[in-house]
Amino acid sequence: MMEELKQAVQMLSESIQKTTELFYTQKEAEGYQAFGVLLEPMATLLDRLFRLQAETGKPEFEQEEIARLLGEAMNAMEARDGVLLADILQYDFLDQLEQIGAQL
């Protein structure tokens, strides 16, 4: 299961990077569309990670921090600030995801 989770984290990281590229290159409409597609797998993965942490105490990460970052990302999306959304995903969220992936 851990290996499967690790792969899911890696896939999500790659998808996020591709999405942020769209925002940085001013392809905003495509970027928001790609981000919309990402939301469901992202929520499913986080739910699995939260449950695993609750059951085993691993991987170590702050659920509140993840929730805060996602809240900021949603605010950026509502404000139609594509670059801010990309920044949050690229530099904050991915950083957290990489730390989690390293523990799996």
Partner 1 sequence: MEGELKNITIESLPARDGNQYLNITTVAGSYRMNSNYRPLTEAAKWAEGLELAQTGAVVLMYGLGNGYCVRELLKHLSSDAALILWEPSVAVYEHIKQKYDISDILQDARVRLLIYGQNEREIFALLDTKIHWSNAKKQSICIHPQYDKVFPKGLAFFEEIIRNNNVRIYTNRNTEMHFGEAIATNTAFNLRYVPEAFLVRDIVGKFPKEVPAIIVAAGPSLDKNIEELKRAKGKAVIVATDTALRSLIKHEIIPDFAVVLDAKKPPSYFQNPESHQIPLFAKIEANKDILVLHQTEKIWYDSHEYLKRFLTRIDRTPRDYHAGGSVANAAFSICSTLGFERIVLIGQDLAYQGDVTHAGGRVSSIRAEDENVCYVDGVDGKPVKTRHDWVQYLKWFERVIGEVQGEIEVIDATEGGALIRGAKLMTLAEVIDRYCHTECDAYRVLQENSRALSEAERSKFADYIKESLAEAEAMEALSQQICEQCMEVQKALQAGAWSLSKQQQLREQIGRVNARLQQMNFFLLVDDYTKKVSIPAITEMLEAEGSEEERFAVYLRSNCTIHEAFKEAAELLTPLLEEAL
26 belongs to the binding site for partner 1 (CB under 8 A)? yes
Residue 84 as a binder of partner 1 (CB under 8 A): the answer is yes
Q: With binding defined as CB under 8 A, does residue 30 bind partner 1?
A: no
**From the list 2, 36, 91, 98, which residue makes contact with partner 1 (rule: CB under 8 A)?**
91
40: tokens are 């469901």
DSSP 7: H
Q: What span, in angstroms and rounded, lies between the C-alpha atoms of 33 and 21?
A: 13
* Distance from C-alpha of 45 to C-alpha of 77, rounded to nearest angstrom: 21
Q: Give me the least distance between CB of 19 and partner 1, in Å please.
A: 13
One-letter amino acid identity for 47?
Answer: D
Q: Minimum Å distance from CB 44 to partner 1?
A: 27
